[in-house]
């Protein structure tokens, strides 16, 4: 593992097991407007911003009455409720954040989720103090797999992209980070079907505890 100055975390599926919650929220809201997609269908939109997900299914299936923006808002509000009810850090997250902080690494967060969800997750997990920078792709023209969100975080952390280590769980996220010229760890999200293309990541670990042990060996 190459030396790095900053660690940039994705959020969904990396800090918190929120992918199942997204599936619940999306299935409930899409069904409420007559768009009868299933949890399996969401494999098609992993790693996209929620506005991109809604637009995708609006173009594919369509619905009446509510606008795509209305549906997007309903999904986000339902996610806030579900996160507050079910917030638990994934294995190794707390130990990794504490170790990186103690060692003086810069720590950032780059996610496709909206700012309100970043605030909800970090507050629910009580980890706000670990992050010097958090950034949502909602503030970028393009979401992942475009590298913009990662480049913005590197800039805010005052760190050159090749000196950043990214922790991701999805193919779109890995592509985003590699396009930003960053070193990428993949910890595959467990609720999706296996994605063989994840091997494009520089490193693959079962969970963050395993990753942390490797970081300690190279420190």
List residues with catalytic annotation: 10, 12
Helix axes 148-156, 171-179, angle to 10 degrees: 60
Quickly list H helices, the chain. Answer: 19-32, 50-60, 68-86, 93-102, 115-125, 148-156, 171-179, 208-218
Query: Any idea which residue has 């592509």 for tokens?
Result: 175
Distance CA(160)–CA(83), nearest Å, equals 33
Give Cα separations from 60 to 16, 22, 54, 144 (angstroms): 29, 19, 10, 20
Distance CA(125)–CA(121), nearest Å, equals 6
For residues 47 and 173, the answer to whether their CB atoms sit within 8 Å is: yes
Q: What number of other Cβ atoms are within 10 A of residue 51's Cβ?
A: 19
Asked whether the CA dihedral 37, 40, 41, 42 is positive or negative, the reply is positive
């Amino acid at each position: 593992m190459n030396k790095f100055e900053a660690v940039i975390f994705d959020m969904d599926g990396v800090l918190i097991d929120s992918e199942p919650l997204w599936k619940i929220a999306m299935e409930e809201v899409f069904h409420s407007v007559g768009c009868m997609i299933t949890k399996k269908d969401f494999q098609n939109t992993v790693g996209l911003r929620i506005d991109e997900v809604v637009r995708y299914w609006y173009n594919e299936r369509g619905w009446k009455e509510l606008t795509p923006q209305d549906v997007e808002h309903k999904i986000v509000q339902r996610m806030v409720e579900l996160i507050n009810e079910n917030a638990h850090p994934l294995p190794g997250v707390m130990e990794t954040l504490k170790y990186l902080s103690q060692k003086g690494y810069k720590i950032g967060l780059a996610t496709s989720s909206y700012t309100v969800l970043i605030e909800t997750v970090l507050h629910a997990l009580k980890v706000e103090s670990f992050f010097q920078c958090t950034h949502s792709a909602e503030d970028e023209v393009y979401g992942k797999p475009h590298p913009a969100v990662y480049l913005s975080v590197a800039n805010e952390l005052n760190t050159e992209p090749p000196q950043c280590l990214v922790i991701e769980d999805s193919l779109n996220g890995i592509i985003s980070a590699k396009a930003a010229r960053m070193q990428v760890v993949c910890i595959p999200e467990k609720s999706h079907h296996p994605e063989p293309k994840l091997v494009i990541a520089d490193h693959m670990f079962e969970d963050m505890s395993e990753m942390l042990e490797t970081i300690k060996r190279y420190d």
